[in-house]
Amino acid sequence: MEKVSKRKRTYVRGKPLGNDLRSLIIDEVIHSGGNIITREYPGNFSAIAKQFSVHDSTVKNIWSNYCENKTLDPKKKKGGNPSKLHDGDLELIETLTRIRPTISLNELKDDVELYDPKPDGVSISAISRALKQRMPSGLQYSRKKVNKVAIERFTPVNMVYTQMFINYLHSKDPRKLKFFDEAGLKLPHHGTRCYGHAPFFGEAAQAGNVITQRPALEYGDIVVMDNCPTHHYDGEEVLTEFLNEIGIELVYTPTYSPDFNPAEFVFGKIYQD
């Protein structure tokens, strides 16, 4: 995608300057006193950079490369170490991720090393990059860390609340439990995050279930949400009052416990697909 630099030059990010423009820059540097033998240039690169609408460092790098290698072609970037993940490893990673959407990166790492032992092992970052860039299907997998357990989850107060939460929901009709959560996603071919409108509870109460054709929220339902800060403070009072008026109870999951909200796993699956 074309962009416009601060100096009003149109360019494509990641694509080097053409040799025709590089040649003009070199000619201008030589004309202004540049010495190819000593690689010295008595003037200021910024003046030439401004003339060709490029950055000062671009002119300097082109001149340095030309003096050193006697070529207009840009320097080839040195790649890092070759990937330790082979085609079979990538197929295994994608298969496991599809079968077990909540599998952790550490578990994927262990399974890959068990399937194809490597002298130096496989790094977590290599697994993560493969999920985003190298899957055989061409899909990009983005993972929510719903299975990362925070130590704050095991405080005495939260442990007591967790048990009360489990016991309370266990005593209720599961058809009355309505789990809510929010999620963000980045649409393909969009450089910036896109924002959209999602129904608030007032609209959700009037909306219909596409499968059962019943209202999304009904009298006697129990709305379960996480402890996101936006769910508390002034918003909590307004929300609780609204739900009470239509006979709906509001319950919060224990803190640092996203796995108690099935919506988290649904969103994780949507991100993969």
| Residue-range domains of the chain with CATH | 2-69 (1.10.10.10), 87-132 (1.10.10), 151-184+198-271 (no CATH)
**Percent of the chain's residues with pLDDT above 90:** 12
Q: What is the pLDDT of residue 146?
A: 46
Confidence of residue 218 (pLDDT cuts 50, 70, 90): confident
CB 241 within 8 A of CB 272: no
Q: What is the mean pLDDT of the chain?
A: 79
231 CA to centre of own chain = 24
pLDDT digits (tens, 9 = 90+) for 155-173: 899 999 999 999 999 999 9
CA–CA gap between residue 271 and residue 247 (Å, rounded)? 34
35 bridge partner residues: 40
Prediction pTM value: 0.45
Model confidence at 184: pLDDT above 80: no
Least confident of 67-81, 82-96, 98-112, 148-162: 67-81
CA–CA gap between residue 26 and residue 113 (Å, rounded)? 51
Nearest CA to 146 out of 257, 14, 11, 244 is that of 257
Mean pLDDT of 13-25: 78
Q: What is the pLDDT of residue 191?
A: 55
At 252 the three-state DSSP class reads strand
CA–CA gap between residue 132 and residue 143 (Å, rounded)? 9
